[in-house]
Structure 1
Amino acid sequence: MEIPGFFAAIIIGLVIGALGRLVVPGKQNIPIWLTLLIGVVAAILGTLVAGALGVDETDGIDWIELILQVAFAAIGVAIVAGAHGRRRVR
């Protein structure tokens, strides 16, 4: 991955994190920076899984890859929000 591709992946990951947070129902008591970090990780995981499935390079918008990325972000946000919420309860 070249430098412009790396920066593009980070920017896309930030958007994916926000979308993942919107998909998860209820209020998530986690900081926005953590949501964005989850999005970057989810974007990378979604791209890797899409590549393994052979659907990472298609004509037009890569809908399957995008859905995988948002799904990973939603799962990540739900897990971290659950763990973060339990840690704060005393």
Structure 2
Amino acid sequence: MVKLIALYRQPNDKEAFDEHYTSVHTPLVEQVPGLQKLEVTRIVGTPMGKPAGYYLMAEMYFADQASFEAAMASKENRAAGKDVMSFAGDIVEMMVGESEV
């Protein structure tokens, strides 16, 4: 599987971030063609009990590279990308990975 990983650093206004992420951004992401699974993890700390530099991690799973590429080229993904830049462009880092089972 191929996945797009989005790591969000700590937002200035967590409540506003959560509201937008849940009510606007997630529904946009869920419309991306070929998306098999969306997994969202709220970061709560580190093993040593220190505050984490990241607030949230989202993993978007696709069957294979071709499905991923088609999804990235879709109008639905462009809408989700435009949205993420509008509310979290300064705190998000994205990467692509291959999941090994």
Same fold, TM exceeding 0.5?
A: no
Which protein is richer in helix relative to its size? 1
Question: TM-score, normalising length from structure 1?
Answer: 0.32
More relative contact order, 1 or 2 (CA 8 Å, 6+ apart): 2
